[in-house]
Every structure is written in C-alpha cells, then in structure tokens.
Amino acid sequence: MVVKIKRITFIILNTGFKKYNQALVKVYDTCNNLIYHEETYNGRLDLLLKEKDVYKVEIIKNNSIIKSSIYVVKDKYIFSFSRTITFLLRDANYYNLPIKKGEIILWQK
C-alpha cells in the first residue's frame, strides 16, 4: 500500500509576532507516539503527515490548551484560543437600564 505524505499548515490564531508569544504544538499518531513537538513561528507551523490518517493535536499557549483531532485531507488547519468576552445586556426602551438577571445563549453557526 502506498502511503502518501501530505504537507499541511497549522495556523494558530491569537499568537504573537515571529517567535514571540507563540504556541507549542504536539502531534500524536493513533498509537500515541509523539510525532511533532515544535513551536509555531508567526502563529504557523508546517508539518508532513500521512494523508488520510488521523492524528491527535495539542496546542499549548500560556496556560491554555487546545485538544483536537485531525483527519489529514486539507492543506490548512486553523485553531483559535478562546478568550474572555464581556456581554452587556440593557433594556431596549430605557437607555442603559441594566437587565437584572437572565441568560444570553450563543450558538455556533
């Protein structure tokens, strides 16, 4: 069986410039062997992985971690760290009157 190696790029959003404030990327195969253990540069990392194979990915930056799995078919995989977002909810008819209690629900499209 011919194994095709594919060159892919990881793009990690919310990282710094060049080598500053970058993320550490770890890639494991399905047997949990560590295949890659490298830092991004400008938020990017190029890798050579087996096409149509599954890998586990860990991306670590400061105290945050993204854990994901990829199936190698695309050229580019984009990852984004979450951050704290503040939501303000006011009464539409009484300018700036804060809503005492309730919930806003956000659904990813």
Partner 1 sequence: MAKIINIIDGTGTGELINDTYTVTASVPGYENSSINPSSVSIVEGTNSYSFSISATGTLTLHVTEDGTSTGTPVVGATFFRTDSTGTEYGTAITTDTNGDAVFDNVPFDQTNAPVIYFKQTASDGDHEFDSTVQNTTMTTSTSTIEIQNPVGATRTITLTDSNYDNLPISSGSLTLTN
Q: Judged by CB, which is closer to partner 1: 12, or 49?
A: 12
Sheet of strand 54-61: strand arrangement: 34-39, 24-28, 54-61, 64-71
Q: Does 4 bind partner 1 (CB under 8 A)?
A: no
- Report the b/e string of 6-23 with b at 16+ CB within 10 A: eebebebeebeeeeeebb
- Which amino acid, residue 5? I
Helix (H) or strand (E) holding 26: strand 24-28
Residues binding partner 1: number (CB under 8 A)? 32
Q: Does 100 bind partner 1 (CB under 8 A)?
A: yes
Structure tokens at 36: 């890659």
Q: Does 109 bind partner 1 (CB under 8 A)?
A: yes
**Binding segment toward partner 1, per CB under 8 A, in 25-33, 55-63, 69-77, 92-100:** 92-100
Q: Judged by CB, which is closer to partner 1: 48, or 78?
A: 78
Query: What residues line the site for partner 1 (CB under 8 A)?
Result: 13-14, 80-109
